[in-house]
Amino acid sequence: MFKFLISLPRRKKQALMIVFDLLLIPLTFWVAVALRHSTITPEFYIPMLHWVLLFLPLIAIPIFIPLGLYRTVVRYADERLIATVAYGVTLLTLALLGGVFMAGVTGIPRSSFVIFWLLAVTLIGTSRFFARKLIQRAERRHLVEKRERIAIYGAGRAGVQLAMALSSSPEYQVLAFFDDNEDLHGTNVMGIRVYSPALASKVVTNFDLQGLILALPSSSRSRRREIIQDFEEFGLSMKTLPGMAELVAGKVRIEDLREVGIEDLLGRDPVPPVESLLVTCIENKNVLVTGAGGSIGSELCRQIMRINPKKLVLFEATEFALYKIEQELRQFESNVKVVPVLGDVKNKTLVEATLERHGIETVYHAAAYKHVPLVEENEVSGIANNVMGTLTMAQASLDVGVETFVLISTDKAVRPTNVMGASKRLAELVLQALSQSAEKSQTRFCMVRFGNVLGSSGSVVPLFKEQIRKGGPVTITHPEVTRYFMTIPEAAQLVLQAGSMGTGGDVFVLDMGEPVKIVDLAKKMIQLSGLILRDGNNADGDIAIHYVGLRPGEKLYEELLIGDNVSSTSHTRILRAEESFIPWSLLKEELSKLTYACQNQDHVAVREILKKCVIEYVPSIDETLDEGASTSKRLIN
């Protein structure tokens, strides 16, 4: 019967509540009068009592309905319901007093109305909360096998609010708290015991826990990584709350939960920005971002908007990407003028006209083809976009007098083994050469080199997540592959700050800590999903790892520096690399040849020029040019 009542449509449930109140309210008044007269037959003392009892429902329901008493979803009833009930019963009692007085009913003591008010508020309110309790208990019994048994790490405000939000969740059952605060150990929060992390093994076993949620929004990334390492042996699925800045008014909602990300496993806290460096090239200036709809470009635009430029020009070749970032930026509460420009960075006429028309003072050049295997298969298109596009933007910036030009580069430009990395290194050489040849120019050129960006297009993390979701296997190119990682906001902040520190031709790199072994990353992601790695030691595991071999142009290890000649900057975690360059008088001839080769789809010539200019470039597979013959032709020894 109870399951039947729960499954009824909402309007029928509301009708049942009205019928219940129609019976409860007259009974309550009869009890109030009986208590006052100390008899179970008060009708002998009040001849017209039965008319009063009939009158009560006729005025009660029209009062309760407008107050929204029957709109409340019982299973989510809270303290606000009591206030609504008290207000409604007060109006009902006053209306009853007026009706009794006008009808001339005698024999009803005034104290009976006070007793009625107290009983009605108590019984009507209690009936709702009693129904809520029954519903929740029924749901828990029904879902007990389906709900994930979890613990929450952090018994502070965020943890308590999360536990409250999950108390009626059909997905999670909170059985324990863990907290670093020794004063909380052994105490109960919301009826849930708080344990020391040292007891993790015992608690996980006793409660047969399946998951752990980190409710530590203000903790450092390094601390979260330590906790994850401490619990990963138990095979729990792990989730975390967003950072404190992302929580709205301290309120925690179930939808705020997210899976523990690779950023929580990096072991390196975000590089804090220096505010004075952020504003120098942006505040009250006209700024242009190329590749504005891409992973890095769009984050650059978001952060630039918060620094209050005079104008932000979005230069993007993909129509939908441009539309999407423009619509997002227009949601900012800002007076910044946002100008979308749909076009190709190789279009010199459009680039010059855009820079001049909008009086651009700072350029952030993020437009590039960066997917290694695709560029390897389409080397002419990749070089044309990454090299000639940079050259076009840089020369146009010189011609119109742009103050600062910042190129977004990559660690793959260091001793490249693929076309993408070599093209980005050649783009760096273009800026270094132009910077040295244009000493009288006001344009400052600089480059920012960083590792893999989490969440960007082509990032390995989304691929691994999708493979794990589908049941595997997780594919890795080689067991020894390592990479540096950083988050998109970090990368964007580095780019913005580097522009302020550049003096001309500078290459900036970030102290990114230790590189991450990709196979270890994959194993941790499998464990944090609550699954078991299937390998030679565990044939019954859930997810296997398959090694598919290095892709064309892929390296085992990425580097950030070509040489060891580095110096510090005004930012403690940003270094300036002093690297060799090709004089513009020599480089421009090779660029002319490269342009001609690209126009004619001459792959052999393109590869030869690329190897001649980028002396560190050693293709992993090279069928176009004999290595010994090419070395003597290179421009720098």
Active-site residue set = 412
Q: Hey, is 260 helix, strand or coil?
A: coil
Say how far apart CA 395 and CA 355 lie, in whole Å: 11
The answer for residues whose C-beta is within 8 angstroms of residue 36's C-beta and 6 or more apart is 42, 109, 111, 112, 115
Say how far apart CA 560 and CA 571 lie, in whole Å: 17
Question: Omega before 197 cis (within 30°)?
Answer: no
* Residues facing residue 544 across a β-bridge: 534
What are residue 450's phi and psi, to 5 degrees?
Answer: -145, 175
* Residues facing residue 193 across a β-bridge: 188
Quick check: 119 and 85 in contact, CB under 8 A? no
* 387 phi-psi bin (left φ>0, alpha ψ -120 to 50, beta other): alpha
Opening angle at CA 422, ends 421 and 424, nearest 5: 65
Q: Which two tokens stand for residue 148?
A: 């994930």
Q: Which two tokens stand for residue 245?
A: 């800045």
Quick check: 199 and 174 in contact, CB under 8 A? no
Q: Hey, is 263 helix, strand or coil?
A: helix
DSSP secondary structure, 441-463, as one string: -SPEEEEEEE-EEETSTT-HHHH
Strand arrangement of the beta sheet that strand 506-510 belongs to: 337-342, 311-316, 286-290, 362-365, 404-410, 444-450, 506-510, 574-577, 566-568
The set of long-range contacts for 585-592, using a CB threshold of 8 Å and a minimum separation of 24, is 585/437, 586/635, 587/429, 587/430, 587/433, 587/613, 587/635, 588/433, 590/635, 591/387, 591/388, 591/391, 591/430
| Segment holding 143, helix H or strand E | helix 110-143
Say how far apart CA 564 and CA 584 lie, in whole Å: 24
Say how far apart CA 312 and CA 520 lie, in whole Å: 41
Angle separating helix axes 49-64 and 10-37, nearest 10 degrees: 140
CB atoms within 10 A of CB 540: 6
Q: Hey, is 238 helix, strand or coil?
A: strand
CB atoms within 10 A of CB 457: 11
Say how far apart CA 527 and CA 236 lie, in whole Å: 7
Say how far apart CA 93 and CA 299 lie, in whole Å: 61
Say how far apart CA 418 and CA 372 lie, in whole Å: 7
| Segment holding 20, helix H or strand E | helix 10-37
What are residue 529's phi and psi, to 5 degrees?
Answer: -85, 0
Quick check: 114 and 94 in contact, CB under 8 A? no
Cα Rg, the chain, nearest whole Å? 35
For the chain, how many helices (H) and strands (E)?
Answer: 22, 23
* 250 phi-psi bin (left φ>0, alpha ψ -120 to 50, beta other): left
Say how far apart CA 37 and CA 448 lie, in whole Å: 89
